[in-house]
Structure 1
């Protein structure tokens, strides 16, 4: 399975992104999964968890500690366990991230 990350995406520390998980109903406890796609200018905050097969829309925000079990629409802010919409982000964002090493 694959993880696709768009342009100008900010991913916080200790974020977990999974493309496979065990199927508790499988006779052999096998795995199932799906590709994870993160759209341009999305922001995934610290300690968020993204489960297999999820799409994070363009400009969407995943709050710290959230567990994302289903797709997040563009420019929607989600939080909680499981993640639910808690707000919206403005649609006219146009920044470009300048990456650097921490504490520089």
Structure 2
């Protein structure tokens, strides 16, 4: 009887995640998505927005700061550790942020996880992949289609596979993000 209840609970949890990620996060209302995020993630900041199609895994380990924008079809993975996203962070569409990966050197393909920290005023362009154990420093910029495998220093611009230094950001970072396009 106990194993049946454990399986039933597993089915319920999986179905709840399916409904959240594949139905509710596609509803064209910023207000509803913010309401749902506040109940799914560890913390969800004031004036932050998530566009349609954002996927959250293990939301209890995901924290999102104030005035942060998470665009369409972004994956936020909290399964392998904490995912902390600061204030005024702009994450463009189709970005994948991973806290869990497989160990390529393990004979049994075991999983290993680590925290990902994205500090304030970071700008992550579209289709970026961020791997576990990475900290992206305050005000850094990650160019489109980059793969971030190691820490990024504050106010640097990185790009490529793997991401490498390509420039310095020259900004006092005084802005507050506020982006809520209709039906997105």
TM over 0.5: yes
Structure 1 unmatched runs, 5+: none
Alignment: residue pair count: 104
Alpha-carbon distance between aligned partners in 1 of 2:110 and 2:130, rounded to the nearest angstrom: 20
Large movers: runs of 4+ above 3 Å:
none
1:6 and 2:86 matched = yes
1:87 and 2:167 matched = yes
Shift of 1:19: 0.4
Give the number of the structure whose residues are more often helix, by fraction. Answer: 2
For residues 1-104 of structure 1, the aligned pairs below 5 Å read 1-101=81-181
- Which has more radius of gyration? 2
**More relative contact order in 1 or in 2 (CA 8 Å, sep 6+)?**
1
Structure 2 unmatched runs, 5+: 1-80
Alpha-carbon distance between aligned partners in 2 of 1:35 and 1:99, rounded to the nearest angstrom: 27
Give me the TM-score of the superposition, normalised by structure 2. 0.54
Q: Deviations over 1:31-50 (max 9, x none)?
A: 11200000100000000000
Alpha-carbon distance between aligned partners in 1 of 2:97 and 2:110, rounded to the nearest angstrom: 19
Give the number of the structure whose residues are more often strand, by fraction. Answer: 1
Give me the TM-score of the superposition, normalised by structure 1. 0.94
Shift of 1:103: 7.0
Alpha-carbon distance between aligned partners in 2 of 1:38 and 1:18, rounded to the nearest angstrom: 12
- Other structure's SS at 1:27 match: coil
